[in-house]
Every structure is written in C-alpha cells, then in structure tokens.
Structure 1
Amino acid sequence: MKYHKGFPALLASMLLVPSTSALAKVSQEEASQLGNALTCTGAIATGNDAGTIPAYSGKWLGKPEHVDYELNVGQPLVDPYKDDKPLYVIDGQNFNDYADKLTPGQIAMFKQYPETFKMPIYPGRRDFRYPDEVCVAIKKNAVDAELIDDGFGFSGYKGGAPFPIPDLSQPMQIYANQTFPHRPYTYSTTRDVADVSSTGSIAWARTINKGLDMTNHPDEVGKPMEGVMAYSFVSSILPTRKKGSATVTSEPVNFARGKRLAWTYNPGTRRVRQLPEYGFDTPLTGTSGKLTLDSDRLMNGSPERYEWKAFERREMYIPANAYRVHQDDVTYDALLTKNHANPDFMRYELRRVWVLEGNLKDEYRHKYGKRVMYIDEDTWHAIASDFYDTRGELVQYAYINYYYAFDAKAYEAGSSFYHDLKSGGYVGYNLFQERGVAPILNKGNFTANNFTPAALRRLSH
C-alpha cells in the first residue's frame, strides 16, 4: 500500500473530525481513506507538522530481514532499533516544558519522584504493518459495522478494529476498538508478578498463562462477529500457598448476550467449581489488591459499570517499540528499582492517541471511580491509564510496554507497571525477562477443549 507524503493540512483537519453519521458505518468514500491518507487501522498516515511524529512507513510485515529471530518458540526479544539513542529525556526538572503532552499520572510521577522518574524520548518509528487479510476485515468493518445492544456489541467482522474511523459521539466505538484490536491468537507464557513496596521489598507471584483468541484466529478473520471472544487458562506457581490452583475462563463478544464464565480448581479439595462472578474489581492474583481483574491490559471485560466519553486524538508521550525492557539480559534487580521501574530500560515516543474516559455509574460499585485510557492510534491498544478513586483523587498511573511480535504480525502487551500514588509502591506485571523464554505466540497449539472445566479436572489426576 502507498501512503500520501504531502498530506494537505485541510484534509488532515477533516480527518480529525469524526463521522457525523447517525449510524456507526462510514461511507465508501470515507472508507477509501484507509490504506491511503489513513493507515488500514485508521491512524493518520502522515507525520505531524513539527516533524516530531514521523509518517507511517509500514515497511515491515513480521520479522524484518536484518533481525535474527526464530518464530513461534518464545525466543527472547530482539530489538530492531537497537542503535537508536534518546533524543532527550524528560525528568523532574523539565517536565513542565512538556506538560501538554503528558498524562496527569505521568505528571504526578515527576512530582512524586523528581530525582529518579524519567522518560527517555526516542525517535518515532512506525514501520510495522498488519497482514493484508486483517486490513481487508477492518475496511469491511468501516462500512458495515454498527453498535448493537446499547454498545455492548457490534455487528461486524473478526480480525481487527471494528470502527477504524470512529464517531466520538459514540464512545463505545472506541471501547470496541481497544477491546478487539488485532493481536496474537494463541499465547503461552510463564508470567512473574512483582509487588514492590515503598521500601523496595518485593513479594513475588508467578503464573502459567495460556490463551486462545477466537476473534483473531486465522480461520475466523473476516467472519461475522459472534460467539466466544477468547479463552484463557491461569495456574499459580507462586506464592506457595496458591501453588496448583487454576482458573479457566471464556469471554463473550457481546456482554449483553453473554457473560464471562469462569471455573476454578482448588488443589486442596481437588474440586472444580464455577465462580458466580469473575471480573470488575476482583483483586488480581499476586498484586495485593493493587490491580483489579479488569485493569489487566488497563481495561477488559464488560463496560457496564461506567459511563464512557471519548475525546479527540492528541499528541502524547507513551511507551512504544518496547524491545529493550524485554531482553533476557535485563535482571529483575536492575529493573525493579524503588518507587518505579528503572527508566533506563524504557522507550517513549511522541505518538497520537485517542482518549477514552469512564466514570462509575451511581448504581455500581468499583475501586475506581474514574479511569482514563490513552489508546495508540496505530494499534488501538490502550498504552497508559490514569485511575481515580470514588472521591475523584488520582490514585494510580499505569502503562504497558507493547512491542510488535514478529511471530504474530501483531502487537503484544509486554511488561506493565501500575504505580500506587498513595503508598509509593508499584506492581511489575507480566514480567518474563528472567524466565529464559518469552511468550510463545501464534503457535496455534490450542483449541477450545483446552479451556473447559474438564481440562481443570484433569489437573487432579
């Protein structure tokens, strides 16, 4: 695909205005911008006027030629940008100069840790693309997909963002995009979780995680959106008191027509039972309540407890092309420094993001009264989030280090960090640097039968 190099300012401003159609669909004429003035996911293909955001190149699909990497086996990550150096560093002394492109949570981190919290800013890189069949499905979604069931679902196609040219008056379109981006369809990983206290001491958890995403299965891409979205399996290794406990879940594509189902296995009783509810603000294993089940990937599951508002895309500094932090020479001792992870391993770029805000409805309870997500326009993944308590106080800043997975020809959520702004502690989540094996992606070795109550019962034999 070729993209316009001289994108006129007037056309650029037009693209920043959401479709005003009463329906979610856009016209064929609007959709024709995908793969031209817009990338296939709906991002603006050109850079910004200042030259600080580059034009999209999409020159690499899967593994770049200069990278030595074996696919689908969990090889530790290789950085295709290893020779890049930071352009500048935002720190506790100069962050006010960049405040218009920082989240409230980032600003709070600079104020709370002025001597140590830093954001190294690297050259922007927009070089990876999605497979053609994914772009075809996204373009079909643009002209056919509509929100249904009060925004809990949509009529469209599997494989990628349902609303690449969103209507901001319908914020559930943005929610659907960040819920259904193109991502790996199978994964298997051993995940370390570090609960780092304000003193720097660490309580560890470790889990085995496996999953099957039916909306991105190669045999399903382009088919109507229906049925089960994804299956997952989680088994605890650490702490010792939880060793052997396991949970399987299935997730619907539409929470108005289905619900998240979960079964758990207790090795003490050797029994499998169905959980009455699994999600929302249920504490996430190994995080001492600092993470909720629905804050994995910053937001997941049913959106029902919040009223959602969408805001126009803006330029922000976010983690991007996060290969360095995931390499196997990164030790936990070096990475998990007091109060926040070691900034020397991070890579931030100036990118355009969509902003999605959820405010807790009066009739529901949740740990978070408000959550604001910053969603990368190139990928539709939520990269950073600010969390507020029910009194409106900012209490947590979190971010995810995403990287383009050569195995999957898609972006994958890597190590993430959730900072408790009240206690000074944080959680390092989805760590695998010392495991010797990175997540094994798109091996295609799972079916739905791997994620059933019967599969849990087999653990007792």
Structure 2
Amino acid sequence: MKLNKKLLASGVMAATLFAGNAFGAVSAEEAAKLGNSLTPIGAEKAGNGDEIPAWDGGLKEAPAGYNDDGIYINPFPNDEVLFTIDQSNVDQYAENLSPGQVAMIKRYDDYKMPVYQTRRTATYPQSVMEQTVENATKAELIKGGNGIANYQDATPFPIPQNGVEAIWNHITRYRGGSVQRNVGQVTPTENGNYSVVKFQDELTWRAYLKDYEPDQDPNVLFYFKQAITAPARLAGNVLLVHETLDQVKEPRRAWVYNAGQRRVRRAPQVAYDGPGTAADGMRTSDNFDMFNGAPDRYNWELVGKKEMYIPYNSYKLVDRDLSYDDIIKAGHINQDLTRYELHRVWHVRATLKDGARHIYAQRDFYLDEDSWQASVIDHYDGRGELWRVAEAHAMQFYDQQVPWYAIEVLYDLLSGRYLALGLTNEENDPYTFGVERTSREYTPAALRRAGVR
C-alpha cells in the first residue's frame, strides 16, 4: 500500500528508536512552530486545499439541546453522506485506507464506510495545550523509550522524532483528568448473538487526586478502577490498576477483587497479551483503549504521515434513541450508523523485538494528528498474516474539550467475530467528569472495603 509522502513541515522522516539513546526535547526554534504553523498539539494547522479544512480551534461549545448530563447529542445533525466506500469502489480509495479496512470491506458484502464532510473538532483545554508546548522543549525519553523524564501531564512529544514518542502521545493523552463512565462490552458470536457485560470505569490522573502530593508515587501516571456491574455471575468483580510511567523499572501494579472468593490478589496478567476482562478471548489487555501499557516489547518505527478515512464525530453511535440491537450485527457493527472523514494520521509500525513474546508480531497504528488518539490499528500474527483490525469511533466531548471514543471495535478476520467496548446507549449516567477521588480510594484495601458480595 502506498504511503502519502506529505509530512509535517518539521520534516520528520521515518525513524526507529534504539535502546540506550535519549530522544525527546526539540529546539526552541522548532517548538516555536506550535501555535503557528502547527497546532499546540502538533498537527498541521493548514488544510490540504481540498477535503481537509484548516484547524480553527476545534469544537469548544455544546450544541443547543445538550443538558450538561454526559449524554452527548449530535452537533451536526444535518450533515449528509458525501459518498460510500464499499466493495464496488474500495480499490479506488485503497491508498487512503489501512490494509485492515480494505480487508473488512472485501470480507463482508454489507460492510461499507459512509464518508462525510471533514470537521476538525478535536481540541483540548488551554492549560493542556500550554503544557504540551512546554513539554516540547523539556520532555525526554529515558531507558530506551520505556519512560519519560521532565514530563508534565499533557502531550509529551508534539513534534515526534520517532515512533515510540508518537505512541507515548497516545498513551498519555488528556482524557479529562478524572472521569467515571458506565459502559457496555459485547463479543457477538459469528451469527450476531451477544450478551452485554457492563462496567463502571474510573480513571484519575495522579495530579487530579484531592490529596495530590507531587512527591507521592511519582512514577504513577494514572489510577484506573473497573467494576463489573452485570451480568450477575460476574457482578462485583473489580480490577484496580496503578499505571506506571516507566513500566520496565516498575511494572504496572494491578489487583483484582474476586466477589465469589471475597479476596484481593495481585494480577500480573493484566498487561501485554494477557486476556482482556470478560472479553471471551477477543482482546488482549493492551488492546484496551486501542493500545495501553509498556512499549518495551516492540521496535517502533515512525513511517510517516498520510491522509486516511477514519471514524470521526461518531455521535450517531451514542444516540439514546438507539438500542444495542440497533448497533450490534453479525460480523460487524451497523455501518449505517458510522461516520468516516478524511484526516491526516501518523503511521507508526510496531514490530516484535527478537526474543520478546506477544501474540501480535506486528501492529500498524494510525494516530489522528489533531488528538494523538489511535484511530485504526492493524494487527498481524506470527506468520505475518493480517489478523485483527481495530477502529476507534471518535467523538469530541465538547463540554469538557476532550477527544475520546464513542466505542472501540476490534474485528477478528479469521473467526468472523468482534468485540465492541464503550457502548452507552442503554446506560444511566454514561459519563461524569470531574469526579473527586483520593489516593486511599485506589488501594487494594479499598477494593476489600468496597466488596459487595
């Protein structure tokens, strides 16, 4: 597949990170592009003169009718489909698709990609963008890329010099500081039958704790807690994670509370290709949030920039008038409810290091330039065959100035099954930002105290 040669004005070309070398901070002259020719996050401000418009600050205001309740309505209800990519014309658009997207279209007769007007809605709070600009001249990779020094909570490498810097931008990106969400996960059978596993997730960055102390747990990036609320046979099980910044120096701390046994135990398997929670084998631990965790098992190559049709402004997928049955279909989600737009993405290729173990031998990431979120990831098995295709159906949480996902979908091309995570259409209180938490609430002892059965 051809790559678009058009790269950022910074002239960054393909690069691979070699262990032992430090990368990161750019010169003040280079960083001066941020907020000028580049957005504060590092995207090209200018459009492409055709489908991609210039970035004008993103979507910062809620549309009329939004009730400030975490139930997001479509700010573009009158936008219409410009054209549709399907089996009849996929070869015409293949240069602007990933191999995985092409494979999905060719595998399923009814799989299609409705393409809409490109709207560059992604933006972050002013303070986050200012911190990102500061990080550009200060943040550095350490220990072969397995940690970051001189970093404050924001995008660390807005002008990336290699692949691992780009992937750290995805891992560390701002998601509201402290948020609770109630979401559903499904893993349909090949004929489309499914049951819903419901989660209550909490995500709190260390600096957003009520009792935050700069010197307390300095290697922790954020705290994550995930309680299963349904079905009854799984309800009450809780996962607690302390996500460390340098996971080679100090591996991710994880514990699970088993409601049936009423006990807490360490969970070292919640990492890399360990099984995802209640996922029926359909995702690994590091498939959550498209990709998470330590980058040390892969070599990371910054292939370059390209224009690509990616899921964007996916407000139809959170429409409260829809049920899960409207969305979940055999083989794939209901593509009539999706929205694709042409955006510039960073292409990052991860290849498994010699001697390292993972079920994915190669992963090709396509990171949205405006948010640093992974939009599409193609996963290859040990034979070099395309195996799984992940798509993140992005949306802007406009009242919080947070780009995030409506749902994540991971398709298995071999089994014909898939996993969809983040469903909110039938959930009460889907998103609550600004929740107040203390460090005591993210301890193993707190898991025991919170045990419901």
> TM-score of the superposition, structure 2-length normalised?
0.91
Does 2:364 align with 1:372? yes
The residue type paired with residue 374 of structure 2 is A
Q: Percent identity?
A: 34
Corresponding residue for residue 430 of structure 1: 422
Instruction: Describe how 1:159-198 pairs up with structure 2 within 5 A.
Output: 159-167=153-161, 170-198=162-190
Does 2:102 align with 1:68? no
Q: Pick closer, same or farther for the CA change 1:42–1:217 going to 2, 3 Å.
A: farther
Corresponding residue for residue 88 of structure 2: 93
Corresponding residue for residue 15 of structure 1: 10
Q: Pick closer, same or farther for the CA change 1:203–1:250 going to 2, 3 Å.
A: same
Matched-pair contact (CA < 8 Å) for 2:248–2:296: no
Corresponding residue for residue 142 of structure 1: 136
Q: Following the alignment from structure 1 to structure 2, what is the Cα–Cα distance between the partners of residues 240 and 37?
A: 53
Corresponding residue for residue 8 of structure 1: none
Instruction: Describe how 1:58-457 pairs up with structure 2 within 5 A.
Output: 58=57, 60-61=59-60, 63-64=61-62, 66-71=63-68, 73-74=69-70, 76-113=71-108, 115-167=109-161, 170-214=162-206, 226-441=218-433, 443-457=434-448
Give SS of 1:298's match: coil
Query: Once structures 1 and 2 are overlaid, which stretch shifts more, 21-30 or 350-359?
Result: 21-30
Task: Kindly provide the CA deviation profile for residues 53-109 of structure 1, in whole angstroms up to 9, marking residues without a partner as x.
Answer: 111011543x33x433243x43x1111111111111111111110000000110101
Give SS of 2:134's match: helix
Q: Following the alignment from structure 2 to structure 1, what is the Cα–Cα distance between the partners of residues 275 and 268?
A: 15
Q: Pick closer, same or farther for the CA change 1:219–1:311 going to 2, 3 Å.
A: farther
Matched-pair contact (CA < 8 Å) for 1:155–1:225: no
Matched-pair contact (CA < 8 Å) for 1:147–1:173: yes
Offset at residue 331 of structure 1 (A): 1.3
Q: Pick closer, same or farther for the CA change 1:128–1:241 going to 2, 3 Å.
A: closer
Offset at residue 224 of structure 1 (A): 13
Matched-pair contact (CA < 8 Å) for 2:209–2:439: no
The residue type paired with residue 41 of structure 2 is T
Q: Pick closer, same or farther for the CA change 1:106–1:23 going to 2, 3 Å.
A: closer
Offset at residue 409 of structure 1 (A): 1.3
Matched-pair contact (CA < 8 Å) for 2:123–2:370: no
Corresponding residue for residue 53 of structure 1: 52
Q: Following the alignment from structure 2 to structure 1, what is the Cα–Cα distance between the partners of residues 250 and 308?
A: 36
The alignment of Structure 1 onto Structure 2 pairs a total of residues equal to 441
Corresponding residue for residue 31 of structure 1: 31
The residue type paired with residue 97 of structure 1 is Q
Offset at residue 18 of structure 1 (A): 5.2
Q: Pick closer, same or farther for the CA change 1:223–1:54 going to 2, 3 Å.
A: farther
Q: Pick closer, same or farther for the CA change 1:97–1:249 going to 2, 3 Å.
A: same
Q: Following the alignment from structure 2 to structure 1, what is the Cα–Cα distance between the partners of residues 27 and 99?
A: 37
Give SS of 2:233's match: helix
Q: Following the alignment from structure 2 to structure 1, what is the Cα–Cα distance between the partners of residues 346 and 146?
A: 20
Matched-pair contact (CA < 8 Å) for 2:290–2:408: no
The residue type paired with residue 58 of structure 1 is G
Give SS of 2:30's match: helix
Offset at residue 252 of structure 1 (A): 0.9
Greater relative contact order structure (CA < 8 Å, 6+ sep)? 2
Offset at residue 213 of structure 1 (A): 2.0
Offset at residue 158 of structure 1 (A): 2.2
Offset at residue 436 of structure 1 (A): 3.8
Query: Once structures 1 and 2 are overlaid, which stretch shifts more, 97-106 or 352-361?
Result: 352-361
Unpaired runs of 5+ in structure 1? 1-10
The residue type paired with residue 199 of structure 2 is T
Give SS of 1:418's match: strand
Give SS of 2:358's match: coil
Matched-pair contact (CA < 8 Å) for 1:320–1:403: yes
Give SS of 1:15's match: coil
Task: Kindly provide the CA deviation profile for residues 5-25 of structure 1, in whole angstroms up to 9, marking residues without a partner as x.
Answer: xxxxxx986434359998522
The residue type paired with residue 279 of structure 1 is A
Q: Following the alignment from structure 1 to structure 2, what is the Cα–Cα distance between the partners of residues 13 and 256?
A: 31
Q: Pick closer, same or farther for the CA change 1:58–1:218 going to 2, 3 Å.
A: farther
Q: Following the alignment from structure 2 to structure 1, what is the Cα–Cα distance between the partners of residues 317 and 8?
A: 36
Q: Pick closer, same or farther for the CA change 1:183–1:215 going to 2, 3 Å.
A: farther
Q: Pick closer, same or farther for the CA change 1:371–1:450 going to 2, 3 Å.
A: same
Q: Following the alignment from structure 2 to structure 1, what is the Cα–Cα distance between the partners of residues 250 and 193?
A: 42
Query: Once structures 1 and 2 are overlaid, which stretch shifts more, 342-351 or 258-267?
Result: 258-267
Offset at residue 128 of structure 1 (A): 4.5
Corresponding residue for residue 3 of structure 1: none
Offset at residue 325 of structure 1 (A): 1.0
The residue type paired with residue 458 of structure 1 is R
Q: Following the alignment from structure 2 to structure 1, what is the Cα–Cα distance between the partners of residues 165 and 208?
A: 18
Q: Following the alignment from structure 1 to structure 2, what is the Cα–Cα distance between the partners of residues 355 and 37?
A: 21
Matched-pair contact (CA < 8 Å) for 2:37–2:46: yes
Corresponding residue for residue 6 of structure 1: none
Offset at residue 315 of structure 1 (A): 0.5
Offset at residue 223 of structure 1 (A): 11
Q: Pick closer, same or farther for the CA change 1:449–1:153 going to 2, 3 Å.
A: same
The residue type paired with residue 39 of structure 2 is T
Q: Pick closer, same or farther for the CA change 1:162–1:359 going to 2, 3 Å.
A: same
Does 2:39 align with 1:42? no
Q: Following the alignment from structure 2 to structure 1, what is the Cα–Cα distance between the partners of residues 290 and 7?
A: 30
Q: Pick closer, same or farther for the CA change 1:310–1:13 going to 2, 3 Å.
A: closer
Matched-pair contact (CA < 8 Å) for 2:14–2:302: no
Task: Kindly provide the CA deviation profile for residues 188-217 of structure 1, in whole angstroms up to 9, marking residues without a partner as x.
Answer: 122211111111111332222112123677
Offset at residue 219 of structure 1 (A): 10
The residue type paired with residue 80 of structure 2 is K
Q: Pick closer, same or farther for the CA change 1:312–1:458 going to 2, 3 Å.
A: same
Matched-pair contact (CA < 8 Å) for 1:155–1:224: no
Query: Once structures 1 and 2 are overlaid, which stretch shifts more, 346-355 or 234-243?
Result: 234-243
Matched-pair contact (CA < 8 Å) for 1:195–1:286: no
Q: Following the alignment from structure 1 to structure 2, what is the Cα–Cα distance between the partners of residues 194 and 319?
A: 19
Aligned alpha-carbon RMSD (Å): 2.5
Matched-pair contact (CA < 8 Å) for 2:169–2:372: yes
Corresponding residue for residue 4 of structure 1: none
